[in-house]
Structure 1
Amino acid sequence: MAALSQQKVNDVVKHYRPARQFPGSTRSDGDESRVTSLDFDDAGEFLVAASDDDTMQVYDIKEGKRTKVIPSKKYGIHLARFTHHPRNVLFASTKQEDSLRLLELHNESFVRYFTAHTAQVTCIALSPGGDQFLSCGNDDMVCLWDLNSRSPQGKLKLVTPYLAAYDPSANVMAIASQTTSSVLMYDVRNFDKAPFETFDMAQAEERYTPTTKGRLWTKLEFSNDGKSMLLGTDYHGHFVLDAFDGSVKSFLTGKTSGTGRAAPISTSGKPLGQGDACFTQDGRYVIGGAGDQSELLVWDTQSATGGRQEPTANLASRGIKSAVVQCNPRFNMLATADSKVCMWLPGDQIKNPEL
């Protein structure tokens, strides 16, 4: 596809272009399948995508090709996440039961099952510091796990705790409760204690997202420098918060509609998703979809003024819709997906675009 670049993000972020797109598939009901989640491994060399046709696809980034399609017809698959162990992927079941499954990609065999949730898992967050991970569910449960044990190390019963994230130090975890308009901050070492801080989002929602208050939260993510948090929504835009006091640094505008996805849960039959925005690897920019428009939006968080913030760049996507967006943690490339997976590179790195 091209040699992967590690230039400063600031030098390339406004020049991303679609480089290669991969065909989707057709579900058993005849409809086109939808990609529901994307994730890169720690080294940025592989990408895993989960689709609602009950398959997992693995892509080699340096080669620019799809290397595996792994079916999970019996259990379904969503929120596929690389662990820190090479070639191991954790994912949530969507059929029969609501367990989590750890898959070894080389042998395509299951290493372990994790059973505690009694409803659809809505988020999986891997600790950046080791084998711990968090899962949230539509059963109002948050579970803290270790990859080496089938049983959770701890549980929290909260109101709609659908999204969670670790900070880069792995010492703090944030849990977003959309119906209470709050983000709860916990010390990982005192998981069973009350949150040490609660960020009340009610006034911010009343100001920026009044018609969807208490719903349509799709993404919770810390920036890699630990200073900011991204709280994505599916319609009006996205909140960038100060990770220490919860104040709104900016509200990212520019979206024209929702993604058509039911992140983090589906009650209307819409395809699932994981949100359509994320931080770049330097923590400075947020890249996200524009809704129905065929483009990606780029926001420079260093330009935040505490109010609404328009995009600093619009990236033409040649008609490719971006319902799921994920940035590579190591290289200057990103992936988007709707029915197809698309890899993006800075324009001067694209030698032979295949679209």
Structure 2
Amino acid sequence: MAPNPSTSNGNPTPPSLSLNNQIMTKLKPAKIFKNAIDPGPPPQASGNQQQKTPPPPRSITGITFDDRGDQVVTAGEDETFRVYNCKTGKLTKTLYSKKYGVDLPRFTHKNSAIIYASTKEDDTIRYHSLHDNKYLQYFRGHKGKVVSLEVSPIDDGFMSGSLDKTVRLWDLRTPTCRGLLSLPCPPIVAYDSTGMVFAVAVGAFARILLYDQANFDKSPFLAVELNDPTLAQISYPPRPIFVTHMSFSADGKYLLLGCSGNAHYILDAFEGQMIAKLEGHIGLERRSLAVPELIEPAKGISGEEVSWTPDSKYVLGGSLDGRIFIWDVQNLQNRSDHDRKFPPMKVQATTILDGHPGPARCVKFNPRFAMMCTAGTELAFWLPDPAGESEETAKDLLKKKGVA
């Protein structure tokens, strides 16, 4: 029997909980786990000098909720994945993958099992039981690091995108891949909420390809060229749009493109029109605030810092300075043929929340409860504060920071 219909992240269809601006502005960290990741070895002395150079801090690189929203699993650069109870706010289990590393954790439709990508030794995807800490299956075939991994919202299928420039389609019940797409560059993948359509982002060529799941071996039924005319106003030639994440809205109408730069985009999922440009945050391609010219447009530090709320009314996003941005996207309008030649509508955050130290690398909302999870060098559980004082508006906070 197939699981209940769910979103493109494998989460169930949004419940009756209705989010609104009042709830979103009152989100505050209810629990902060400062030891959510092992800080690593102590600093080593450099050269003949006695001064010790601290290594870059380790970060959590991926988070995933189970379908019921009861648990969240984090994966980090310390080669551990940790299981937290969302209701009690407690760490329940720490598991290790020291030999292979761990990245891109994804709950299957069982709340006791996840799949994840390796970061060293090989490029195998591993199916892991959280209950007894055993591997259930190995999925071999990729010849490069897996950089995108998504579970089908309707069955036991999943797909992966790799640095070997392929997309592979899998089934949890068999170790052999059931489909293969070869592309001109490393791809990012996403399922729509029905599981019948999936999207592939071909970053270096600024293209989004949409495929029919039942006919994936055929040509894509829609190919979208990403074009933002406003980028030419900033520099020439305009900077490329480098997609690090994709996810469909729960109703399947929109496709969110998370990008490594200072903007994310929302496309119409049926015709591929670029509808909205989400701005205000500092893109995670900038690896250091102190060295602004250090820019790496690649999916090393970013990829999970932007996501939908379960009802698709809001987009959540992290920032290099640790702030959390919330964009209200309830009033998006499709563009007519006449309007397509104009730039996408610029959308500023309606709420900006002070986050935690360092980049907010992962931001996701619980699929069933009014709870947000953010992660970087620390892990935070956010809940609406019922005490009364609402969070500062985006405009107030920008003034306070000296930005506006």
Q: TM-score of the superposition, structure 1-length normalised?
A: 0.89
CA 1:45 to 1:342, structure 2 compared with 1: closer, same or farther past 3 Å?
A: same
CA 1:190 to 1:207, structure 2 compared with 1: closer, same or farther past 3 Å?
A: farther
In the other structure, the counterpart of 1:99 is 124
Query: In the alignment, is residue 245 of structure 1 matched against residue 271 of structure 2?
Result: yes
Following TM superposition, by how much is the alpha carbon of 1:272 offset from its aligned partner in structure 2, in angstroms?
4.2
Q: Kindly indicate whether the alpha-carbon contact (under 8 Å) linking 1:77 and 1:92 is maintained by their aligned counterparts in 2.
A: yes
Q: Kindly indicate whether the alpha-carbon contact (under 8 Å) linking 1:54 and 1:72 is maintained by their aligned counterparts in 2.
A: yes
TM alignment of 1:132-147, pairs within 5 A? 132-147=157-172
Amino acid in structure 2 at the alignment position of 1:220: M
TM alignment of 1:24-103, pairs within 5 A? 24-28=37-41, 31=55, 32-103=57-128
TM alignment of 1:1-355, pairs within 5 A? 7-10=17-20, 11-22=22-33, 23=35, 24-28=37-41, 31=55, 32-203=57-228, 206=231, 213-214=239-240, 216-258=242-284, 260=286, 272-292=301-321, 294-304=322-332, 306-317=344-355, 319=357, 321-348=359-386
Q: How many residues are aligned here?
A: 342
In the other structure, the counterpart of 2:291 is none
Q: Kindly indicate whether the alpha-carbon contact (under 8 Å) linking 2:242 and 2:298 is maintained by their aligned counterparts in 1.
A: no
Q: Kindly indicate whether the alpha-carbon contact (under 8 Å) linking 1:223 and 1:279 is maintained by their aligned counterparts in 2.
A: yes
In the other structure, the counterpart of 1:353 is none
CA 1:348 to 1:328, structure 2 compared with 1: closer, same or farther past 3 Å?
A: same
Q: Which runs of 5+ in 2 are unaligned?
A: 1-14, 44-54, 289-294, 334-343, 389-404
CA 1:157 to 1:214, structure 2 compared with 1: closer, same or farther past 3 Å?
A: farther
Q: Kindly indicate whether the alpha-carbon contact (under 8 Å) linking 1:15 and 1:315 is maintained by their aligned counterparts in 2.
A: no
| C-alpha separation in 2, matches of 1:200 and 1:60 | 42
Q: Kindly indicate whether the alpha-carbon contact (under 8 Å) linking 1:37 and 1:273 is maintained by their aligned counterparts in 2.
A: no
| C-alpha separation in 1, matches of 2:266 and 2:147 | 21
Following TM superposition, by how much is the alpha carbon of 1:261 offset from its aligned partner in structure 2, in angstroms?
6.2
Superposed CA offset, 1:26-54 (max 9, x none): 22475432101011010011001110111
| C-alpha separation in 2, matches of 1:94 and 1:151 | 21
CA 1:165 to 1:120, structure 2 compared with 1: closer, same or farther past 3 Å?
A: same
SS at match of 1:152: strand
Flag as ranges the 4+ runs of structure 1 deviating above 3 A.
Answer: 28-32, 202-216, 259-262, 266-273, 303-306, 318-321
Following TM superposition, by how much is the alpha carbon of 1:270 offset from its aligned partner in structure 2, in angstroms?
9.1
CA 1:208 to 1:309, structure 2 compared with 1: closer, same or farther past 3 Å?
A: farther
| C-alpha separation in 2, matches of 1:28 and 1:267 | 26
Superposed CA offset, 1:209-261 (max 9, x none): 86774453221000111111110112211001111111112100001343656
| C-alpha separation in 2, matches of 1:70 and 1:289 | 26
Range with greater deviation from structure 2 (24-33 or 12-21): 24-33
Q: Kindly indicate whether the alpha-carbon contact (under 8 Å) linking 1:118 and 1:139 is maintained by their aligned counterparts in 2.
A: yes
CA 1:14 to 1:239, structure 2 compared with 1: closer, same or farther past 3 Å?
A: same
Q: Kindly indicate whether the alpha-carbon contact (under 8 Å) linking 2:157 and 2:171 is maintained by their aligned counterparts in 1.
A: yes
Superposed CA offset, 1:62-96 (max 9, x none): 01011111110000110011000221010001111
| C-alpha separation in 2, matches of 1:268 and 1:181 | 13
Q: TM-score of the superposition, structure 2-length normalised?
A: 0.79
Amino acid in structure 1 at the alignment position of 2:275: K
- Give the aligned CA root-mean-square deviation in angstroms: 2.6
| C-alpha separation in 1, matches of 2:227 and 2:185 | 15
| C-alpha separation in 2, matches of 1:260 and 1:203 | 20
Q: Kindly indicate whether the alpha-carbon contact (under 8 Å) linking 2:17 and 2:368 is maintained by their aligned counterparts in 1.
A: no
Q: Kindly indicate whether the alpha-carbon contact (under 8 Å) linking 1:241 and 1:248 is maintained by their aligned counterparts in 2.
A: yes
Amino acid in structure 1 at the alignment position of 2:252: G
| C-alpha separation in 2, matches of 1:319 and 1:91 | 26
Amino acid in structure 2 at the alignment position of 1:18: P
CA 1:28 to 1:130, structure 2 compared with 1: closer, same or farther past 3 Å?
A: farther
**Structure ID, larger Rg:** 2
Q: Kindly indicate whether the alpha-carbon contact (under 8 Å) linking 2:28 and 2:382 is maintained by their aligned counterparts in 1.
A: yes
